[in-house]
């Protein structure tokens, strides 16, 4: 059974204080690892897809990386508008998407 574990559960940062979120996974054949952002009361919003170990993707202050067992979402010099819950998900060979419980990031000005 595919498993996705995200850590930490919550992260409180000062504006400008860089940090990283972890997503560790076990999956029978990785077809893709996805990062989403979710704001309170809204649906998840797509950020990145990573397909193979060593791959990296960037968007503004966010950078996602992938190894064979985990993915990191690095937040560089965060701003208060980066406050959200960040979700990691993996899709395996049976095409089903398995989600982690998420990391809630709060950035204080």
Instruction: Note the residues at the interface with other proteins (CB under 8 A).
Output: 4, 31-32, 34, 36, 41-46, 49, 51, 87, 89, 91, 95-102
Please, which residue, 76 or 104, has the CB nearer to other proteins? 104
> Residue 18 CB, nearest distance to other proteins (Å)?
25
Q: Within 13 Å and on the Cβ side, how many CA atoms surround 106?
A: 6
Q: What is d(CA 19, CA 21) in angstroms, rounded to the nearest whole number?
A: 7
Of 12 and 51, which has the nearer Cβ to other proteins? 51
> 23: closest CA among 104, 93, 109, 102?
102
Rounded to 10 degrees, the C-alpha dihedral 90/25/8/103 comes to: 10
Taking the least distance from each CB to other proteins, the nearer of 65 and 92 is 92
> Taking the complex as a whole, how short is the minimal distance between the CB of residue 72 and other proteins, in angstroms?
18
For the bound state, the minimum distance from the C-beta of residue 14 to other proteins, rounded and expressed in Å, comes to 26
| Total residues belonging to the chain | 109
């Amino acid at each position: 059974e595919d498993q996705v574990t995200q850590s930490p559960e919550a992260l409180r940062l000062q504006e400008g204080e860089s940090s990283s979120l972890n997503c560790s996974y076990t999956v029978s054949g990785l077809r893709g690892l996805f990062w989403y952002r979710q704001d309170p009361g809204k649906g998840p919003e797509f950020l990145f897809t990573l397909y193979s170990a060593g791959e990296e993707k960037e968007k503004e202050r966010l950078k996602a990386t992938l190894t064979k067992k985990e993915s990191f979402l690095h937040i560089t010099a965060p701003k208060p508008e980066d406050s959200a819950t960040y979700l990691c998900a993996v899709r395996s060979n049976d095409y089903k998407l398995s989600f982690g419980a998420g990391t809630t990031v709060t950035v204080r000005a």
